[in-house]
Structure 1
């Protein structure tokens, strides 16, 4: 999978050697993983000789080297002083960084940049350790937007404060524990200040679409798709929602018509995006908006809204989709408008042509699979590249795992999609969240904290987690809102799709949650109850002896469990080898 010689050339490339990029860089030292990788990708695309790729833009940006971070650290009292301030929430560390200022030589180029960029800006972390194949640090540091309003000096000061807050995040508990867990040592922080992709549409600022893309699709939902075909996951509005475990549209690049959720209109509607994120110019906040209430207003700014959204209408026991325009009427309370992107592949063919060329080129150029973030304006066919980095796809060689003969063994769970190669033998615990109790008890966060408590109590023991819907979702109605740092001992996550309770797994490849799964080699299986090729043995879960967890919805089974998954055949199973009585030691 990796081309070592190409990979070494990629990591040795210095953007200061490029005369176009040199003026964008302030200070010395590294500009960090996000910064260097983005400029490397831009260089490769612009010199490709392919008009589709040469037209890809990066937003106006400036990059700040790690020497600035080191000088700020020294002004506080050095690394030892900063480490002595590390506490439970990082408050003291942040206060220390905010008490100082950036070096004088940083301010004039920052002022010059902001004098030319008056739209909202994003200030992003770009640490040295983020420049690695395996560890993306997704969600571990800080990236945030600023409205970029007021006098020029006020805007400069706000960006300066945000840079100092990002520096402080280097020593926040989340980042420190992540580096400690992976034995990575200390980090150095670079910074990207970037114009936010999008434009003003009335009071709201957002791009039409944003998302993530991968040159390899290692979690295929059908064997009709090849791993090397690549995959996109994107949303209407700011791409922030594409990195969370919410609703987004997923496309295979070689067959955009094949949906992970299938072709049933009801299932498409249940998996479709209904809310999108934008910057509200009135409140100056990031807001989440509902297309079901704003769709007529959106038509003012997106006359082609039907390219992205459709009306789902209930008709007896079935439903169907129709286009959205000014003449649309919503017939009843059970019908609604949602983003299905049904016409997007047909109306935006150049977008897919570009992505089919872009992702393989970046993989070839880096010597390792590619991972990108982007924003896209269909009307102008304008693609902005926001991030590009190596994609870690796990430590098990593709095709190396086969499911053994299971004759005479008790299979309690079976999946037929979105699995990768992997084997786990003799895992001593299985933790199960009963969907019936979870659905009826609104105290969702107590369930999440209960799992965290069990995880902490495990010591060095591993367990399989079986839970309804999307584990780690920020919306508890979609799944248990457990934090990833509450799953450190989890060896495998099984997400149960229970149609009658509304809990359904979703191919969230590309989210911060899945990035952590890949980095830690945590296996994953989605099981769709009642569907062919899937098995959820409810009788076993109800009859096998268990210990009640800290919440009534949580059960703990102790014994021996094995997990086998074959990515080539797209099949995975969980086997109960032995279950101990609760009183057994």
Structure 2
């Protein structure tokens, strides 16, 4: 391991099938700067070369992270000196190829079920150089670690691969023998290698016309610290140098945005609860200032590594707040107590000396005081994202943790942001004589989809009474499968693709691959509210595949939810009583510059059979 004249990062970008962006294909991209970014080699930098083991590429995540740290180092910005990355080890793709050579008939294995593929990989051995490097890393690191995928194809401007491969957390207790910890990490590495050939990854590459992938690995100490029985960072999240889904025109797309949670950042990439901050106006809230709506959007659970369970777990703040309170001198800046009343409720600050939570009250992470008191943090994040945007030549995104007591930001991922259709112009036709059934006035994407033959609607009344939520999701998947060669609009209550089915239909992305547009409808009284999940894995897939999005709020000014249309127009039932399929001609027009989006029904035909 280390700098060596014989080592390289493998093929050049063009040899890997990646072409450098051109202005016509990537509006706003600086091709010369971006080409320099893709050609940057961490093995040429003595600060990073010794962290790499083996020959070949270290993959997109690994190279992008080290590129970001090099540019931060060279920036000489005083505030950016407080931005670091956790202790890490980068394993190049030579190891992956070494493992592949031990599998007799790889082409036949690719046809097997995932568990068979994984078993075959677990029977192989890693190169001795990799095994030795893993042990040396674990000798120094006895905090929890994460083993992350970092494939060649993840180094892309167009395809994110978000959630397509695997990352695993290991408790990595220093009291456990080194050999036992190392053996577990080696198993994790081989499981990640196997995921390269799992159906979800193969289907994604096939859909986008991509060939085989090569896998690098990152071993990284989890950002955080022990607080009693729990290990976690105070805050974590995702950040973006450009913001393509604004909830108000007071925000410019170039201002940047972060999505912040208390605890581990794993929840910030899922469709759960998080606080969204526009970096130039952090006190603004997409949900407004109504206490009830703030409470509905506020985080109440967070993820930690539990010393007793030795695993990643989700905890409820109202149950453990007294245990963690002593470890956070600024806890009242993050959390407030919500109390209900007949006027929508109210928030009271948490005393630094403790508070009594009465029946009906909630502890919520609103980050209200943090937004007011932490201007230096938001300024730093804006400078960080602007620097990466400038140095990569394209919009950038990061995953990070923040430790307020040390005033320290830890970057765990940095990469080019997919380039949205938001950069293109949209022309909305005259709608006066057309049947507008849905209208939105905030957070819309940018685009036009006309003459879509189907609209799939999830009845919010039926879904609210459902207990087997996943039956609804699978029913949507059945419709998606039946519509080979056709497209549809999906209209559903709350957050489509949420990890929490109480917030919305937990549909998986592979169940909506023929969807042209998702409309999330908010029903506050039923607890269903769209959410600005910019940056989650789910929304990254939507943007990359050009699936339009618009949220509609029932009863809100400048919004339309024509429920009478959905109740009176002819439809067919899907495999679940809550799924309706309308046939005809539907069109979507969304203009992110003006925060305007509509769905029009130009024709509705008699229903078809066979949707179950």
User: Normalized against structure 1, the TM-score is what?
Assistant: 0.98
Equivalent position of 2:420 in the other structure: 394
Aligned partner of 1:507 in structure 2 is 532
Tell me how far 1:95 sits from its aligned partner: 0.9
Determine whether 1:118 maps to 2:142.
yes
**1:160 match:** 186
**CA distance in 2 between partners of 1:441 and 1:156 (Å):** 45
Deviation for aligned residue 1:88:
6.1
Corresponding residue number in structure 2 for 1:3: 30
CA contact (8 A) 2:439 2:552 kept: yes
Could you list the per-position Cα deviations for residues 296-340 of structure 1 after superposition, in whole angstroms to 9, with x for gaps in the alignment?
Answer: 112111121101000111233331111112555446422211100
Rate the CA distance shift 1:29–1:509 in 2: closer, same or farther, 3 A. same
The gaps in structure 2 that reach 5 residues or longer are 1-27
* CA displacement, residues 410-438 of structure 1 (integer Å, 9 cap, x when unaligned): 00000011112200110000000000011
Name the CA shift for 1:259/1:583 in 2 (closer, same or farther; >3 Å).
closer
Gapped runs of 5+ residues in structure 1?
Answer: none
Relative to structure 1, the CA distance from residue 548 to residue 315 in structure 2 (aligned partners, 3 Å threshold; closer, same or farther) is closer
The answer as to whether partners of 1:547 and 1:556 remain within 8 angstroms in 2 is: yes
Question: Which among 437, 447, 461 is matched to residue 462 of structure 2?
Answer: 437
Name the structure 1 match of 2:130.
106
| 1:212 matched residue in structure 2 | 238
Calculate the aligned-residue CA RMSD, in Å. Answer: 1.3
8 Å contact 1:371–1:389 — kept in the other structure? yes
In structure 1, the partner of 2:5 is: none
In the alignment, which of 14, 26, 44 is matched to residue 71 of structure 2?
Answer: 44
The offset of 1:62, in angstroms, is 0.6
Deviations 1:510-559 (A, max 9, x none): 10000100110000010011111111001111111111111110100000
Instruction: State the distance in 1 between where 2:519 and 2:45 align.
Output: 47
- Kept after mapping to 1: 8 A contact 2:283/2:372: no
* Cα distance in 2 between the residues matched to 1:144 and 1:324: 35
| 1:148 shift after superposition | 1.1
- 2:391 is aligned with 1:360: no
Residue 341 of structure 2 is aligned to residue 319 of structure 1: no
Counterpart for residue 73 of structure 1: 100
Query: Does residue 142 of structure 1 match 2:162?
Result: no
- Cα offset for 1:207? 0.5
Q: CA deviation at 1:89?
A: 3.9
Provide the C-alpha distance between the structure 2 equivalents of 1:331 and 1:148, rounded to a whole number of angstroms: 36
User: What is the deviation of 1:370?
Assistant: 0.3
Q: Does 1:270 align with 2:291?
A: no
| Structure 1 counterpart of 2:87 | 60
SS in 1 for 2:345: strand
Match status 1:470 vs 2:495: yes
CA distance in 2, matches of 1:507, 1:573: 18
2:208 is the alignment partner of 1:177: no
Residue among 13, 17, 20 paired with 2:44: 17
Q: 1:306 aligns with which of 332, 347, 368?
A: 332
Q: 1:347 to 1:584 in 2, by over 3 A?
A: closer
Using the TM superposition, give the Cα deviation of residue 158 of structure 1 relative to its aligned residue in structure 2, in angstroms.
Answer: 1.1
- Residue 395 of structure 1, CA deviation: 3.7
Q: Is the 1:46–1:55 Cα contact (8 Å) retained in structure 2?
A: no
Write the distance in 1 (CA, Å) between the matches of 2:422 and 2:306: 45
Aligned match for 1:551, one of 576, 594, 602: 576
Per the alignment, residue 548 of structure 2 pairs with 523
Matches of 1:584 and 1:322 in 2, distance apart?
A: 55
Q: Aligned equivalents of 1:420 and 1:2: distance in 2? A: 20
Q: For residues 224 and 87 of structure 1, what CA distance do their matches in structure 2 show?
A: 52
Alignment match, 1:31 = 58
Deviations, residues 98-154 of structure 1 (Å, cap 9, x unaligned): 101101111222211111111011100000000001111000000011111311111
Contact persistence 2:170–2:311 (CA under 8 A) = no
Matches of 1:584 and 1:194, distance apart in 2: 53
8 Å Cα contact 2:305-2:312 kept in structure 1: yes
> Which whole-Å CA distance do the structure 1 matches of 2:343 and 2:276 have between them?
27
What TM-score comes out, normalization by structure 2 length?
Answer: 0.93
Contact 2:332–2:352 under 8 Å retained in 1: no
Distance 1:46 1:463, change over 3 A: same
1:492 equivalent to 2:520? Answer: no
Q: Which moved more, 1:439-448 or 1:331-340?
A: 331-340
Q: Which residue of 2 aligns with 1:532?
A: 557
2:196 and 2:125 map into 1 onto residues whose CA distance is: 17
Which residue, 393, 396, 400 being the options, matches 1:374?
400
- Are 2:243 and 2:252, in contact at CA under 8 Å, matched by a contact in 1? yes
CA distance in structure 2 between the aligned counterparts of 1:244 and 1:584, rounded to whole angstroms: 35
1: CA distance, partners of 2:355 / 2:189: 48
CA distance in 2, matches of 1:337, 1:324: 9
CA distance in 2, matches of 1:563, 1:420: 11
8 A Cα contact 1:251 1:258, kept in partner: yes
Match of residue 420, structure 1, among 429, 445, 465: 445
1:212 to 1:584, Cα distance in 2 relative to 1, 3 A = closer
Residues 88 and 104 (structure 1), Cα distance of their counterparts in 2 relative to 1, 3 Å cut: closer
- What is the DSSP-based 3-state SS (H/G/I as helix, E as strand, rest coil) of the residue aligned with 1:197? coil
C-alpha distance in 2 between matches for 1:350 and 1:101 = 48
Alpha-carbon distance between aligned partners in 2 of 1:326 and 1:306, rounded to the nearest angstrom: 7
- Distance of 2:525 and 2:482 partners within structure 1: 33
Q: Map 1:193-204; keep pairs closer than 5 Å.
A: 193-204=219-230
Residues 373-406 of structure 1, C-alpha deviations (whole Å, 9 max, x = no match): 00000111010000000101324534x1032110
Q: How many angstroms apart in 2 are the aligned matches of 1:377 and 1:39?
A: 21
